[in-house]
Copies of this chain bind each other. A is one copy, B any other.
C-alpha cells in the first residue's frame, strides 16, 4: 500500500523518463520505443505498464494538474502583497516549466483528447479566477485602481502570457548570450501588465522588485 522509496518501480521510471524526454524533445518526437530504449527495457515491458502512449501522457497530465492546482490556490485570510504575487507566479511558472511538454504542443494535444481539453480548460478558468480575485482584493485594499472590466481584460492577458511564455522564449530570436529559458523575465512581463493599475507607492515598490529580479545581486 505505502510507497517504499526504494529504487523506483519500472512504472515510475517510465513516467519520469517520458516526462524528461517529452520536455526536451517534444512529445510528438518521442516514441514508445525511444522511451524503452533509453530505459534499457523492452517495448513489450513498457506496454505491460501502460496501455499506450496516450495513457502515459494522461498520467503525466494528472500529476501536472494536481501540482498547478496547488500553485493556483489563493491564500486565504489576508490581502496579498506584491511579494506574495511574485512568489505565486514563480510557483506557477516552475510548474509549467516542469511539464512544459504540455504547453509545447498544446493545441495538438488538446485537439487529440477531449478529456485533456476539458481538464485544461478548467485550469485556465481557475487561473483567470485566481487573478481576478487577487486584483479585486488589491483594489479593495487600495493598492490598485481598476474597473471590473479592466480587471477582466488584464486577467485574460496574464493568462495568455503565462500560458505561452515558455513557447515564446523558445522561438524568440537569439539575442546573444544566455539562451536558457528565463522564468524571471516571464514574471517581469506579467508584472508589467499589472503595474499601470497600481497606485504610486506600490508601483515604485514593484519597480524595485523588478530591478532586483532582472539584475540579481548574485
Contacts and interface: CB of A to CB of B under 8 A. Distances in A.
A111 B168 contact: no
A171 interface: yes
A156 B189 CA distance: 8
A171 B113 CA distance: 12
Nearest to A117: B171
Contacts of A164: 160, 163-164, 167-168
- Give the most central of A125, A188, A192: most B CB within 10 Å: A192
Interface residues of A, number: 40
Contacts of A9: none
Interface stretch (A31-39, A88-96, A99-107): A99-107
A174 interface: yes
A197 interface: yes
Nearest to A125: B173
Interface in A136-193: 150, 153-154, 156-157, 159-161, 163-165, 167-168, 170-174, 188-189, 192-193
A192 B154 contact: yes
A122 interface: yes
Nearest to A171: B110
A156 B197 CA distance: 19
A124 B172 CA distance: 7
Given A120-B171, A124-B173, 11 more contacts: A26-B108, A28-B108, A106-B171, A110-B171, A153-B188, A153-B192, A163-B164, A164-B167, A164-B168, A193-B193, A196-B197
17 contacts: A26-B107, A26-B108, A28-B28, A28-B108, A105-B107, A107-B167, A108-B108, A117-B171, A124-B172, A124-B173, A153-B188, A157-B189, A157-B192, A160-B160, A160-B164, A160-B165, A193-B193
